[in-house]
Every structure is written in C-alpha cells, then in structure tokens.
C-alpha cells in the first residue's frame, strides 16, 4: 500500500480546507464577529498539519483501488474533524460530539442538525455550515484533481471512490479536465442561483447560504423555519434549482456540447423527471384541503418533492403532519434519491432502473429458459460487473440500515423516529418524521447514537464501500 501518497494527498486536502476557511473569515470581518478568530486558529492548524503531511512529494505516485478508497474515506474524516473545530473554539457548539455531528452533516450534504435555534449562531458560523455543503457536494478530491497537477495512474480511482453512482465515466480523456468541467458547471450553476435569488429580493447573505445548500443538495437553513418564511416566488426558484442539481452533470456537459439528442435520451433523466412530476401531482391532490388552495398545495408539494428526492432537506411546511399517503411517498423518495453523477444522495435512480431491468430479465428467463436477454441503459449494454456492483451495494446498504436502526434503538424512541433518522442520514437527506421531523432536530439522541448516525452520513455520501474499507483488516496489510 502506498502510504506515502495517501499521506501526501491528505496534506493537500487540509491545506485546501484551510484556504476555504478564508471565506467565513471574510464574513466575520464584514459583520465584525469575534467568532472569526476561531477560523484563523483553525486555518493555521490546517496549514501546519497539511505542510507536515505533504512537505515531501513521494517518488512513487501510483496507487490503485484500495489506496483510492482509503484515501477518500480518510480525507472526509480529516475534513470533518478539522471542519468541526471552529464550532468548538467559538463555543457556539461547545460539545465535541455535537460539533463533529454538525460538521459531518455539512460535508456529507445531509443537513441533519443538533441545533434547536440556528438563528442564535453568528453569521460566519452560519456561512461555514452552509459552505460545507458546497464543498462536499461535488467532492473535495474532485476539486483537488481539477486544480492541482498530479501525475500517475491513480486519479480515476479517487474520482470513482468519491463520485456517486454505479459507474463513473470520464467526460474527456484526461481525468483532470473532467474534474475541471464538473467543477466549472457546478460553480456556474451556483453563481447563477445566487445572482437570481438576489435580483428576486432575497438578502445577499441568505442568497449565498441557501444557494450553497441547494447546490450541494444539503439542507442547513439559516432560519429556524428553514425556507417557510421566504416569499413564495423565492421558494419556487429554489425548487427549480434543487431539481436541477439533482440531474447528472454529464447531461449538462452534453447540452453545452450541443449533443441534445444524446442528453435527452437518458433513461435515468426521464425516470427522474417522471417520478418528480407524478409524485407532485399525487401529493398536491392529497394535501389540497390543508391549504384550501390548489396552487398553494402545488407549490408546497413541488418544493418538498424536489427537496426530498434530491436529498436537499429544505422545507416550507411541516410535512410530518401531512396525510399518511404523502408522508409515505416522501419516504419512498428518500430511498430513491437523485441521479448518479449529481450532488444528490440516496440509492440513485440509475441503480433502481438497473434493479428493475434485472428483475425483468429474470422473469423473461423463467418464461423462456433458452432465451437470451441483455440489460441495456440508454441503448448500451450494462456490464455484468455493474449489475453485480449494484446488487452488492444494495445488500451492504440494507445491512447497515438494519444494524443502525437496531443500535439507536437503545435510546428507546419510537420506531418511526429511529427508522426515519437512519433513512435521513444514510441517504443524506436531513429531516425525518416524528421526533426528527422538519421542525425538530437530532439533539435528542445519545452520543452513542449520534456516532452511529455520523457513520451513516459518511457511508451514504461515500456510497458505503470507501468507509467500510477503513474497518477491513486486510486494508491495512502491506501487500
């Protein structure tokens, strides 16, 4: 195992995180907040630790899948630990466990919070919470691949380990150029949302924080009611951007290249938009009596469907008191998630399509034992390795979910609370139902349960296997 290269990349990650913290420092200067000094202290720590880890570039820069998975999982752990320090040093979240929970929830774009009153936080801390969503949305290692020249055959392993979906493809021959294209599209869409929200009347600070959350499909609000108190037209705009960030970024690249036919023939995109439209219509019909106005019901339904399927987690209404049908549909969307190659979480639409096609293939085999039927997506054959990876992912996913529900059951809360708490963290959504509903928080859980949920957030964001590699004894054996 190439330990020296892993060490070197971790050092770069910490230095990049230190640079990212300059932005909340600037916010602290603008609002004259003393909490900004905590960021200065952490920047110095990040730079010092980063320099020590990366002061010597290894002579051997090539490593493979095992090192790539290990590097990604350790990077996210380091990011979260150092990202939690400003909360602790500023004394705005004095508990180490709670600060770590908040940081991991931010970087994994989960948006589950332990804070009962977010409006009591300083502007620089609020900005950092939301900015961690943006950092984690596309992935910090993808960012590093985009800006730092790194020779060797390991780049694709890093991208595969950090990027969501059953398969990861290069948009162009060079991995660095692919990373630059992805981050370019991501940044342009974020800037566009910020500008549009400001022009349409949202305060500048709010526009930045909300846009970071929508872009990274996180869910940290800067008001206690999430987005409920914003004007209806602003809620509609955020709805559209949330859905847009849940689309595979390869689609946007194809559109930029004017390959419209190839872009819109995507089965995953059609299924994603079809599910959104169908669910919005059903929930609108189901909740229209609550609002007394079909258009109000449509707006809230569209916002919540867009928020849940993209695993953003913002809310405009307490959907925990909606009719049972609507809540059931929202829980189903939590599992479905957004498209592969987007910033959204969940199992991913493409995996569900592959699983459905696999079931159909088996049914065909029962009826026609000598027949041959291949699984295709967008007219291309799906490799057996991809189908196998989807099946194994689902098995690991269900096992982690079952054990997590069992373990947090020691806190003795009701099943709906426990089930949706694990669902919300493992799928990187944020709010659940009952005691962890959209108007509640996760502070009720014991430290032990919070660590279980932190593990779920990391496992969900990294799609399980990179984080499991940390606990695999064979990972640490020298080969």
Look up residue 121 and give its two tokens. Answer: 């936080």
Q: Using DSSP, state whether 476 is helix, strand or coil.
A: helix
Distance between CA atoms of residues 105 and 217, nearest Å: 12
pLDDT for 153 beyond 90: no
| Dist CA 32 CA 100 (whole Å) | 26
Give the per-residue pLDDT at 428. Answer: 94
Query: Virtual CA dihedral for 434, 438, 440, 445, nearest 10 degrees?
Result: 70
Query: What is the average pLDDT across 457-474?
Result: 87
Out of 65-74, 200-209, 414-423, which region has the weakest mean confidence (pLDDT)?
A: 65-74
Residue ranges in 248-383 assigned as alpha helix (H): 249-256, 260-264, 267-291, 294-309, 324-336, 349-367
Phi-psi label, residue 225: left if phi above 0, alpha if psi -120 to 50, beta otherwise: alpha
Q: Residue 86 pLDDT > 50, yes or no? A: yes
What is the reported pLDDT for 220? 95
CA atoms within 13 A on the CB side of 156: 10
**Phi, psi at residue 164, to the nearest 5°?**
-80, 145
473 pLDDT tier (thresholds 50, 70, 90): confident
Q: What is the spatial distance between Cα 379 and Cα 2, in angstroms, rounded to a whole number? A: 39
Residue 357's pLDDT is: 92
pLDDT at 465 > cutoff 80 = yes
Rounded-to-integer distance, Cα 143 and Cα 106, Å:
17
pLDDT computed for residue 422 by the predictor: 98
Say if residue 59's pLDDT is above 80. Answer: no
3-state secondary structure of 381: strand
Report pLDDT digits (tens) over 256-296: 888 888 888 899 999 999 999 999 999 999 999 999 899 99
Assess whether pLDDT exceeds 70 at residue 301.
yes
**Cα separation, 477 vs 88, whole angstroms:** 35
- Does 178 have pLDDT greater than 90? no
Count of all residues that appear for the chain in the document: 479
Number of alpha carbons in the 13 Å side-chain half-sphere of residue 109: 36
Q: What is the mean pLDDT of residues 457-461?
A: 94
* Residue scoring higher pLDDT (377 or 412): 412
pLDDT-derived band at 57 (thresholds 50, 70, 90) equals confident
Mean pLDDT of 229-251: 96
Query: Cβ neighbours of residue 184 under 8 Å, at least 6 residues apart?
Result: none
Place of tokens 């859905």: 243
pLDDT: which is higher, 381 or 60: 381
Residue 145 pLDDT class (50, 70, 90 cuts):
low
pLDDT exceeds cutoff 60 at 236: yes
pLDDT tens per residue, range 194-234: 999 999 999 999 999 999 999 999 989 999 999 999 999 99
Q: Give the range among 46-50, 60-64, 125-129, 388-392 with minimum mean pLDDT.
A: 60-64
What local confidence, expressed as pLDDT, does residue 450 receive? Answer: 98
> By three-state DSSP, how is residue 115 classified?
coil
Mean pLDDT of the chain: 90
- The structure tokens 């004017």 sit at 258
Cβ within 8 Å of residue 203, ≥6 positions away: none
Q: How far apart are CA 238 and CA 348, in angstroms?
A: 21
pLDDT band at 173 (very low <50, low <70, confident <90, very high): very low
What's the whole-number mean pLDDT along residues 126-133? 97
Between 357 and 176, name the one with better pLDDT. Answer: 357
């Amino acid at each position: 195992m190439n330990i020296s290269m892993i060490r070197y990349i971790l050092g770069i990650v910490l230095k990049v995180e230190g640079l990212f913290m300059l932005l909340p420092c600037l916010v602290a200067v603008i609002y004259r907040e003393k909490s900004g000094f905590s960021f200065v202290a952490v920047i110095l720590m990040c730079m010092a630790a980063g320099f020590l880890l990366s002061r010597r570039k290894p002579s051997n820069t090539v490593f493979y899948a095992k090192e790539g998975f290990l590097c990604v999982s350790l990077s996210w752990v380091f990011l979260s630990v150092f990202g939690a320090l400003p909360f602790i040093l500023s004394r705005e979240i004095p508990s180490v466990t709670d600060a770590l929970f908040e940081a991991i929830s931010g970087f994994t774009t989960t948006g589950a919070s332990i804070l009962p009153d977010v409006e009591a936080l300083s502007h620089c801390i609020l900005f950092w919470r939301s900015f961690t969503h943006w950092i984690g949305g596309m992935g910090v290692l993808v960012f590093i691949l985009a800006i730092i020249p790194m020779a060797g055959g390991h780049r694709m392993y890093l991208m595969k380990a950090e990027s969501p979906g059953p398969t990861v493809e290069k948009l162009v021959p060079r991995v660095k150029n692919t990373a630059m294209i992805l981050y370019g599209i991501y940044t342009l869409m974020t800037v566009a949302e910020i500008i549009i929200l400001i022009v349409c009347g949202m305060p500048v600070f709010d526009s930045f924080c909300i846009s970071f959350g929508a872009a990274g499909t996180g869910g940290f609000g800067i008001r206690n009611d999430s987005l409920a108190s914003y004007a209806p037209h602003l809620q509609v705009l955020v709805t559209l951007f949330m859905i847009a960030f849940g689309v595979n970024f390869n689609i946007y690249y194809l559109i930029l290249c004017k390959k419209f036919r190839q872009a819109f023939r995507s089965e995953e995109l059609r299924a994603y938009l079809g599910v959104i439209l169908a669910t919005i219509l059903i929930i609108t019909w189901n909740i229209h009596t609550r609002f007394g106005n079909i258009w109000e019901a449509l707006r809230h339904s569209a916002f919540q469907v867009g928020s849940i399927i993209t695993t953003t987690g913002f809310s405009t209404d307490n959907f925990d008191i909606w009719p049972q049908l609507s809540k059931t549909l929202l829980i189903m969307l939590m599992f479905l998630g957004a498209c592969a190659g987007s910033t959204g979480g969940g199992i991913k639409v493409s995996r569900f399509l592959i699983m459905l096609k696999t079931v159909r293939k088996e049914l065909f085999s029962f009826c026609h034992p000598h027949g041959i039927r291949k699984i295709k997506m967008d007219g291309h054959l799906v490799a057996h390795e991809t189908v196998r990876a989807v099946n194994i992912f689902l098995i690991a996913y269900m096992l982690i979910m079952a054990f997590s529900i069992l373990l947090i059951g020691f806190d003795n809360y009701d099943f709906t609370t426990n089930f949706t708490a694990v669902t919300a963290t493992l799928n990187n959504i944020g709010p659940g139902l009952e005691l962890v509903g959209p108007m509640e928080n996760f502070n009720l859980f014991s430290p032990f349960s919070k660590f279980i949920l932190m593990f779920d957030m990391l496992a969900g964001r990294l799609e399980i296997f990179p984080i499991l590699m940390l606990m695999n004894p064979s990972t640490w054996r020298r080969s």
